[in-house]
């Protein structure tokens, strides 16, 4: 079975600092794939490279076997990859529903004339976007409280809104950057349920996380990074017992 995402020999430098070096990995379709590693290992950098906000200095990226290296984030979003952010980045000037509707942005583009008609109230692209947004909010467990302003919501709910927004773009691959960071344990378990629900939709998830319990309980595959290189790759049970992984986290003597 072909992997949905292939990272091939990717490297990325910031000035003199090598953040990623010769990273190769594959993400199987339909999996929950976790990316872990100690602080500074390059997890977020890798996620940013996959998502297009950073360009790799070397290497290639393949989505469903299509080389998309060097494409812009908005183009990548149209291809079917969506992401959430570590520090929630909702738009404060818009309502929750409108925030999620932005996820439909790429999907409701029908050209300037249609947009003009839409503006005058004619045409149903807007209504269908609103419907999709409501469905997504429902799916993540935030039914029609869409009247609130995003900055008034608790962190866990804001994260859900971000995920709803990402889902609204009908992705086949979802990139989640530390969705559990800073959350209360009860919220974390409901997120765990949500991520599994997403897998149920046949959407592949790449998850950067620090929370080991979460990873071990839901991940199908785990890739471990350390100082910019992949040191292990496999199912959670195998990773847990990998000596190199253990020493990476505990430090070597």
User: Which residues of the shown chain bind other proteins in the complex (CB under 8 A)?
Assistant: 51-53, 72-74, 77-78, 82-83, 85, 89, 91-98, 101-103, 105-106, 108-109, 115, 118-119, 125-126, 129, 146-147, 149, 165, 169
- Closest distance to other proteins from the beta carbon of 55 (Å): 8
Q: Which is nearer to other proteins, 82 or 225 (CB)?
A: 82
CB of residue 72 vs other proteins: minimum separation in angstroms? Answer: 7
Least Cβ distance, residue 69 to other proteins (angstroms): 16
In the bound state with other proteins, the residue whose beta carbon lies nearer, of 42 and 150, is: 150
The smaller minimum CB distance to other proteins, of residues 77 and 192, is found at 77
What is the H or E stretch that residue 115 is in? helix 112-119
Residues pairing with 17 in the sheet: 14
C-alpha to C-alpha distances, 222 to 7, 96, 182, 219, nearest whole angstrom:
15, 33, 22, 7
Cα gap 81→77, rounded to integer Å: 5
Nearer to other proteins by Cβ, of 92 and 182: the residue is: 92
Q: How many CA atoms lie within 13 A of 81 on its CB side?
A: 27
Rounded to a whole number of angstroms, the minimum distance from the CB of residue 235 to other proteins is 30
Q: Residue 245: which H helix or E strand, with range? A: helix 243-250
146 vs 221 by CB, closer to other proteins: 146
Smallest distance, Å, CB 75 to other proteins? 8
Residue closer to other proteins, measured from CB, 95 or 233: 95
Left, alpha or beta for 91 (phi > 0: left; psi -120 to 50: alpha)? beta
Q: Are 24 and 231 in contact (CB under 8 A)?
A: no
At a CB cut-off of 8 Å and minimum separation 6, what does 44 contact?
A: 86, 177, 208
Specify the 3-state DSSP secondary structure of 51.
Answer: helix
CA angle 145, 150, 152 (to 5 degrees): 90
- Minimum distance of other proteins from residue 89's CB (angstroms): 4
CA 79 – CA 174 distance, rounded (Å): 12
Would you say 160 or 226 has its CB closer to other proteins? 160
Cβ 227 to other proteins shortest distance, Å? 25
């Amino acid at each position: 079975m072909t992997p949905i995402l292939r990272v091939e020999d990717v490297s990325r430098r910031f000035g003199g600092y090598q953040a990623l070096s010769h990273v190769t990995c594959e993400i199987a379709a339909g999996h929950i794939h976790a990316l872990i590693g100690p602080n500074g290992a390059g997890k977020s950098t890798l996620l940013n490279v996959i998502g297009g906000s950073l360009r790799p200095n070397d290497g290639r990226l393949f989505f469903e076997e299509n080389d998309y290296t060097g494409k812009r984030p908005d183009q990548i979003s149209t291809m079917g990859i969506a992401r959430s952010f570590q520090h929630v980045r909702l738009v404060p000037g818009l309502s929750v529903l409108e925030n999620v509707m932005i996820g439909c942005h790429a999907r409701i583009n029908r050209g300037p004339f249609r947009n003009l008609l839409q503006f005058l109230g004619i045409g149903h692209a807007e209504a269908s976007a609103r419907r999709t947004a409501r469905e997504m909010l429902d799916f993540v467990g935030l039914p029609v409280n869409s009247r609130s302003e995003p900055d008034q919501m608790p962190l866990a709910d804001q994260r859900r809104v971000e995920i709803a927004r990402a889902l609204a773009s009908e992705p086949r691959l979802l990139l989640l950057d530390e969705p559990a960071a800073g959350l209360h344990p009860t919220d974390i378990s409901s997120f765990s349920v949500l991520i599994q629900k997403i897998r149920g939709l046949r959407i592949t998830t790449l998850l950067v996380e620090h929370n080991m319990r979460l990873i071990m309980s839901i991940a199908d595959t785990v890739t471990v990074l350390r100082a910019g290189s992949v040191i292990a790759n496999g199912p959670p049970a195998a990773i847990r017992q990998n000596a190199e992984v253990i020493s990476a986290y505990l430090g070597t003597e």
